[in-house]
Amino acid sequence: MQNHSLRIVTYSPAYTIVPTYECFNRCTYCNFRTEPGKSDWMTIAAAKGILQELQSEDVCEILVLSGEVHPHSSRREAWFGRIYDLCELSLKMGFLPHTNVGPLSFEEMGKLKNVNVSMGLMLEQLTPELLKTVHRYAPSKLPDIRLRQLQWAGELQIPFTTGLLLGIGETENNWWETLRAIALLHQSYHHIQEVILQPHSPGNRQTFDAQPFDPRQLPQVIAKAREILPLDISIQIPPNLVKDEGWLLACLAAGATDLGGISPKDEVNPDYPHLQAQDLRDILQPGGWELRSRLPIYPQFDHWLVGELADIVKKWRQN
C-alpha cells in the first residue's frame, strides 16, 4: 500500500493523573470509584515526580481525571484547588492539560479554562430512565446537569469532548436523541471537538450485571452518528474496548477517525489495557490507515487560547 493512499486516524499521546478516586456517585457499572474519605488525594509533589519522568517520554496530553466531590461538601473547594494546581503544574512543565472531573459550576469551568487547552464530560445518555437503574444513586448524572455543562463550555469558548456510553440499559432511539442534542449545541457554539462512542465493557468491580455491548453493532452506530453530527466533530472510539481487529477497522470505515488518548493505563476501564501506538500501527496500516498523533486541542480552536496557553500550544504545533 502506497503512503498516498493511506487514510488518517489520530490519537493523543497521553498520561492520566487522578487527584482522587473517591466519588459521591455510585453508578453500578463503575470500575473506578472508591468511597469518599477512604483514600488519599494525589499530592502536588507526587504529581511533579510523575511529570518529571514523563518529560523524556512521548507524551503531550495530561488528562486530569477525578472522582467527584459533592458540590456542597466542605471538601469541594480543596478538591477543586487540587485539580487547578495539577493543571497549572502540568502546564509549567510543558504539557497540555485536559480536565474531565464531572459537572462543575460555571465559575469553576471559567477558572479551569485558564489552565486547560480543552475539557470534557461524557453525557453517557440523556434518557431519565437510567435514573431508575444504573444511575439511581448518582445525583450528578441528571441529564439536564450534564447537558448544561456542554452549553457552559460553549459560552466560555472551551474546546470540549463529550460522548455516549453504549449498553447501560438505554434504547437505540436514546442514542440518536443524545447525539442530536450534542449536534444542536454545537451548531450554537461550534465548540465540540469530538464525540466518544464507548461500548460498555464489564469490569470485575462493577455491580451492574449486563453483557458487554456487542462491538459488531458499533459500525452501524458510528455510521448513524456520522449522519447526525456536524462534520467538524470527530467520532472517537476506544480501541482497547474493540478487541477484534476486524471490527476496529470496520469502525474506522464507518466514520470513526480518532482513537482518543493512549496512555499506560485506562483508569476508567482498568481491566482493558490500552494498545500502544506501535501495536495500533501494526493493525491499522495493512487496512489502509495511517496513525498520527495529535494535541488535545484541535487546530481550529487555537484562536480561543490566550497568553501562556497559546504560547505552549504554538510550541507543540512546531514540534
Residue by residue, pLDDT tens for the chain (319 residues) are 345 567 999 999 999 999 999 999 999 999 999 999 888 999 999 999 999 999 999 999 999 999 999 999 999 999 999 999 999 999 999 999 999 999 999 999 999 999 999 999 999 999 999 999 999 999 999 999 999 999 999 999 999 999 999 999 999 999 999 999 999 999 999 999 999 999 999 898 999 988 999 988 999 999 999 999 999 999 999 999 998 899 999 999 999 999 999 998 899 999 999 889 999 999 999 999 999 999 999 999 999 999 999 999 999 999 8
Q: Which residue has the cell 507526587?
A: 46
Q: What is the pLDDT of residue 6?
A: 79
Rounded to 5 degrees, what are φ and ψ at 231? -65, -20
155 CB neighbour count, 10 Å cutoff:
14
Classify 296 as helix, strand or coil: coil
Give the closest residue to 230 by CA, choosing from 198, 189, 258, 171. 189
Q: What is the pLDDT of residue 284?
A: 95
In angstroms, rounded to a whole number, what is the distance separating the alpha carbons of residues 184 and 222? 18
Q: What is the pLDDT of residue 2?
A: 45
**CB neighbour class for 79 (10 Å; exposed up to 12, middle 13-18, buried from 19):** buried
Q: What is the pLDDT of residue 37?
A: 85
- Angstrom CA distances, 258 to 1, 136, 166, 196, stand at 21, 32, 18, 9
For residues 52 and 86, the answer to whether their CB atoms sit within 8 Å is: no
- According to CATH, the superfamily of the domain at 3-318 is Aldolase class I (3.20.20.70)
Helix axes 76-92, 44-54, angle to 10 degrees: 30
DSSP classification of residue 22:
B
Classify 237 as helix, strand or coil: coil
Q: What is the pLDDT of residue 5?
A: 65
Q: What is the pLDDT of residue 264?
A: 87
In angstroms, rounded to a whole number, what is the distance separating the alpha carbons of residues 206 and 33? 10
Q: What is the pLDDT of residue 1?
A: 38
Q: What is the pLDDT of residue 74?
A: 95
β-bridge mates for residue 4, sequence order? none
Q: Give the distance, in angstroms, between the CA of residue 180 and the centroid of all CA atoms in the same chain.
A: 19
Q: What are the residue ranges spanned by the domains of the chain?
A: 3-318
For residues 5 and 51, the answer to whether their CB atoms sit within 8 Å is: no
